[in-house]
Structure 1
Amino acid sequence: MTTNAIDIPGYKPGTWVLDASHSEVGFSVRHMMISKVRGAFGMKSATLIAPENPLEAKVEAHVDATTLDTKDEGRDAHLRSGDFFDVENHPTIDFVSTGVRIEGGDFLVDGDLTIRGTTKPVTFEFDFGGFGNDPYGNYKAGASAKTVINREDFGLVWNAALETGGVLVGKDVTITLDLQGALQAA
């Protein structure tokens, strides 16, 4: 590793690709200002180019917005509509990293998140689950990550006022990633 590199036990440089069947993008948002609604998207693809120094890594990820699932078909249809994600015109949610850093002991990945055609900078806080070989000889890595965005910054502005005061849908959305990737053979 280079002089400015960090030590992550089990880390191997190379190209890592997403194992979509073991990965998920989740979200939660306030509903009626009293509870949270949770949902998930299917991952379409993700690639991590990992050099010797993990702080020089590059990530590109794509989420299939059409797979949105909150366990309520009517709500899902509304969220896929032009009022929210407009999946007919914007079928993916995209992330491209712009930097990796450690701050206060936290492993942070900065990047540009694109939702509904609007791109804004975000920072994900990562937690590594570890590395290991699966039963088929593939070297795998697991991680989780989290960030909070203001949905209105991305053009997701639909809302409804409540008779009791407040609004139906909160502005802040917590995005959670549960990821597994495989190191590609050289």
Structure 2
Amino acid sequence: MTITIPGYQPGTYVLDPSHSEVGFEVRHMMISKVRGTFAVKEATIVLPENVLEASVTATADVASIDTKDEGRDQHLRSADFFDAEAFPTITFVSTGVREAGADLLVDGNLTIKDVTKPVTFELEVGGFGTDPWGNYKAGATATGTIDREDFGLTWNAALETGGVLVGKDVKITLDLQAARQA
């Protein structure tokens, strides 16, 4: 099957950090969700003629974590969670792109705290276009869910009412915008 994406232009695209971030959400006390972001440090997206041969590498800065609560952010940077001092980055390297019905899926390896596991993200192509300064841009959102404990993020606290403070499943959303290189 041939995939047609309006405006698709092959090339190597490099991250526009001011228009990109990694978001996450996780259950808190099993009754609500906490959301946060990481800054994307760098990303390269290679788009060949056939989108199913595309590849992406991306790196997020662990110290940039922001959940709108500085005390929680400090705890997340600590050895209880991400250990930002010892493991300053989170990386994703794609291993393939495939169709699943009308959807595009990006398979790859996610590394957190030196633990690498295969993950799959559902890809939503935002589009392509030229910005006011003549840069040709690509935008996309990728979403997936991981079990944080698979990556050594096991800290938790039992609640008096039953359950735990932090859920295991973490929804990840990568919002990326990148500029095609000459």
The alignment's TM-score, normalised by the length of structure 1, stands at: 0.96
Once the two structures are aligned, what percentage of the paired residues are identical? 72
Partner of 1:44: 41
Q: Which residue of 1 aligns with 2:114?
A: 117
Match of 1:178 among 160, 163, 175: 175
| Structure 2 residue corresponding to 1:131, chosen from 114, 128, 131 | 128
2:23 matches 1:26: yes
Give the residue type in structure 2 aligned to 1:118.
V
Unaligned runs of 5+ residues in structure 2 are: none
Q: Does 1:12 align with 2:12?
A: no
Equivalence map 1:27-106=2 (5 Å): 27-106=24-103
Instruction: Work out which of the residue numbers 152, 155, 160 in structure 2 matches 1:158.
Output: 155
The amino acid that maps onto 1:71 is K
* Number of residue-to-residue matches in the alignment: 182
- Name the aligned partner's letter for residue 49 of structure 2: E
How far is the alpha carbon of 1:49 from its aligned partner? 1.3
Unaligned runs of 5+ in 1: none
What per-residue deviation string (whole Å, max 9, x for no partner) do you get for residues 70-97 of structure 1? 0101100000000100110100000000
1:6 CA drift (Å):
2.0
Q: Are 2:144 and 1:144 aligned? A: no
Deviation at 1:5, TM superposition (A): 4.4
Separation (CA, whole Å) in 1 of partners of 2:112 and 2:176: 20
Stretches (4+) displaced over 4 A: none
TM-score normalised by L of structure 2: 0.98
Counterpart Cα distance in 2 of 1:58 and 1:130 = 17
Letter in 2 for 1:134: D
RMSD after superposition? 0.8
Equivalence for 1:107: 104
> What is the rounded CA distance, in whole Å, between the counterparts of 1:184 and 1:29 in structure 2?
36
